[in-house]
Amino acid sequence: MSFKSNKRRAELLGEPFGTASGKLRKAILFELLVETNKNICFQCEERINKIEDLSIEHRIPWMNSKNPIELFYDLGNIAFSHLKCNSSAGEKRVPHPAQQGENNYWSKLTQKQVNEIREEQNSDVPLKELAKKYVVTKDHIWKIKNNRMWKNAKEC
């Protein structure tokens, strides 16, 4: 694309073309989430009603992981949240095994507890309730449900 072409696009749109394209993609995504009833916040489990509140987040932070590229592009690691919920969640997040050694907070659940969580999750118990019951985060529950962790859970 030539400089003149980009300049013309920016003049027509009133902002840089990349900025306008990003806004358009977000509007398309938000509309699809609303149409499919998937506009539910991963953090608070409430409906996301305004495009301004929509945030895309990584369930497991990718920046300090052992394989940041893989974790960044893993669509199973993507969730939607209110911007406010996503921002505050980062402050409370517990490190993921990919970010530290095997002996960590996440591995303190027994295999029996993991199995119980999987059974309860299959019965549509809200993530928030399971997280409170087992004193872990909703990220923990999501990872257990989706078999993304707990390979080395302690045997009961």
Q: According to the per-residue pLDDT averaged within each range, which of 5-14, 79-88, 136-145 is highest?
A: 5-14
Tens digit of each residue's pLDDT (9 = 90 or more) over 22-70: 999 999 999 999 999 999 998 888 999 999 999 998 888 888 788 889 9
What is residue 103's predicted lDDT score, i.e. its pLDDT? 37
SS3 for 95? coil
User: In this predicted model, which residue has the larger pLDDT, 153 or 155?
Assistant: 153
- What pLDDT is stored for residue 98 in this prediction? 47
Residue 101 has pLDDT above 60, yes or no: no
Confidence of residue 1 (pLDDT cuts 50, 70, 90): low
DSSP for 38-80 reads: --B-TTT--B---GGGEEEEESS--TTSSSHHHHHH-GGGEEE
Say which residue, 149 or 78, is predicted with more confidence.
78
pLDDT of residue 149: 60
pLDDT (0 to 100) of residue 8: 93
- What's the whole-number mean pLDDT along residues 102-126? 65
| Residues forming beta bridges with residue 55, ordered by sequence position | 81
For residue 90, what pLDDT is reported? 55
| Three-point CA angle 88, 103, 146, nearest 5° | 60
